[in-house]
Amino acid sequence: MQVRLESIGCRLNIGEIEAMARGLAKAGHRVVGPGTPAELCILNTCTVTSIASRKSRQLIRQLKRANPSAALIVTGCDAELAPSEMVEIGVDLVVGNAQKERLLELAEAEGLLDMTPTDPDELELFEPGDSTRTRAFLKVQDGCDNRCTFCVITIARGAGRSVPADAIMEELHELQRLGYREVVLSGVHLGSYGHDFGDQRGLQHLVERALAETAIERLRLSSLEPWDLDAGFFEVFSYPRLLPHLHLPLQSGCDETLKRMARRTTRKEFSALVRDARRAVPDLAISSDIIVGFPGETDEEFEQSIALVEELAFSRLHIFRYSRREGTPAEKMSAQVRGPVAQERSRRMHALAADLEHRFNSKLVGNTADVLWETAEDHGQTLRWSGLTQNYVRVTATTSLDADLLNVVTPTEIVDVVPGGVVGRILNSEF
In the complex, which residues of this chain contact ligand SF4 (CB under 6 A)? Answer: 144, 146-148, 151, 153-154, 188-189, 225
Q: Which is nearer to ligand SF4, 10 or 172 (CB)?
A: 10
Q: Which is nearer to ligand SF4, 324 or 394 (CB)?
A: 324
Give kind and range of the element (H or E) at residue 400. strand 394-400
Burial of 168 (0-12, 13-18, 19+ CB in 10 A): buried
Sheet-wide strand order for 93-94? 30-32, 2-7, 40-45, 71-76, 93-94
The number of beta carbons lying within 10 Å of the beta carbon of residue 366 is 9
Query: Dihedral, CA atoms, 258, 261, 265, 266, nearest 10 degrees?
Result: 10
Coil, strand or helix at 214: coil
Region class of 335: left (phi > 0), else alpha (psi between -120 and 50), else beta: left
In the complex, minimum distance from the CB of residue 189 to ligand SF4, in angstroms, rounded to a whole number: 5
Q: Which is nearer to ligand SF4, 227 or 239 (CB)?
A: 227
Q: Which is nearer to ligand SF4, 151 or 356 (CB)?
A: 151
In the complex, minimum distance from the CB of residue 258 to ligand SF4, in angstroms, rounded to a whole number: 12
Q: Which is nearer to ligand SF4, 52 or 148 (CB)?
A: 148
Whole-number CA gyration radius for the chain: 22
In the complex, minimum distance from the CB of residue 261 to ligand SF4, in angstroms, rounded to a whole number: 8
Q: Which is nearer to ligand SF4, 153 or 207 (CB)?
A: 153
Q: Which is nearer to ligand SF4, 154 or 252 (CB)?
A: 154
In the complex, minimum distance from the CB of residue 430 to ligand SF4, in angstroms, rounded to a whole number: 44
In the complex, minimum distance from the CB of residue 148 to ligand SF4, in angstroms, rounded to a whole number: 3
Residue 242 and residue 203: Cα distance in Å, rounded? 13
Instruction: Output b/e per residue, 198-229; b: 16+ Cβ within 10 A.
Output: eeeebbbbbbeebbeebebebbbbbbbbbbbb
In the complex, minimum distance from the CB of residue 264 to ligand SF4, in angstroms, rounded to a whole number: 8
In the complex, minimum distance from the CB of residue 223 to ligand SF4, in angstroms, rounded to a whole number: 8
Q: Give φ, ψ of 323 to 5 degrees.
A: -130, 130
